[in-house]
Amino acid sequence: MIQRFGEKGKARRELLHQIDQQVRMEKIIADRQLSSNERELNRLRNEEREEFVKEELDFRRKQRDNDIKFGHNPLDTPNITNHVDWEVLKEKNMFANNNNVLEGHGSVLKNNKNLLKQNKKLLQGGNMFKI
Question: What is the distance of C-alpha 103 from the center of its chain?
Answer: 50
Question: What is the distance of C-alpha 60 from the center of its chain?
Answer: 22
| Amino acid 54: pLDDT | 97
Over residues 24-52, the pLDDT tens digits come to 999 999 999 999 999 999 999 999 999 99
CA distance 72 to 67: 7
Predicted confidence band at 83 (pLDDT cuts at 50, 70, 90)?
Answer: low
Whole-prediction pTM value? 0.44
What is the sign of the dihedral through the CA atoms of 113, 115, 120 and 124? negative
Q: Give, as one character, the DSSP assignment of residue 6.
A: H
Cβ atoms 115, 122 nearer than 8 A? yes
Over residues 2-18, the pLDDT tens digits come to 788 788 889 999 999 99
